[in-house]
Amino acid sequence: MTTEAGAPSEPPRVPVKNREPYQQAYYPPVPTRFTRYFRTSLIWQFFRFWIINFKIFKLLSNSQS
Partner 1 sequence: MARVVILGAGISGHTVARYLGRWLKGSEHQISVVSPKAMWNWIPSNIWVGVGEMTKKQVTFELDPVYRKLGVDFRQAKAVSVHPDGGDGQAKPYVTIEYTDESRAGQTDKLEYDYLVNATGPKLNFGATPGLGPEGGHTVSVCTPDHAIEANEQLQENIAAMKRGETRNFVVGTGHGMCTCQGAAFEYIYNIDHALRQNGVRDKARIMWISNEYELGDFGMGGVHIQRGGYMTNGKVFAESLMVERNMEWITRAHVTKVEPGKIHYETLDGTEAELDFDFAMLIPPFAGVGLKAYGQDGSDITDKLFAANGMMKVDADYTPRPYEEWSKADWPSTYQNPSYKNIFSVGIAFAPPHPISKVMKSPKGTQISPTPPRTGMPSAAMGRAVAASIRDMVNGAPEPTHRASMGETGAACVASTGSDIFKGTAATMTVYPVVPDYEKYPEYGRDMDLTFGEIGLAGHWMKYILHHVFIYQAKLGPGWHLLPD
Residue ranges binding partner 1 (CB under 8 A): 1-9, 11-16, 24-25, 27-31, 38-42, 44-46, 48-49, 52-53, 55-60, 62-64
Supply the minimum distance, in Å, between the C-beta of residue 33 and partner 1: 12
Supply the minimum distance, in Å, between the C-beta of residue 62 and partner 1: 6
- How many angstroms separate the CA atoms of 13 and 22, rounded? 18
**What length does the chain have?**
65
Residue number with CB closer to partner 1 (8 or 21):
8
20: left (phi over 0), alpha (psi -120 to 50) or beta: beta
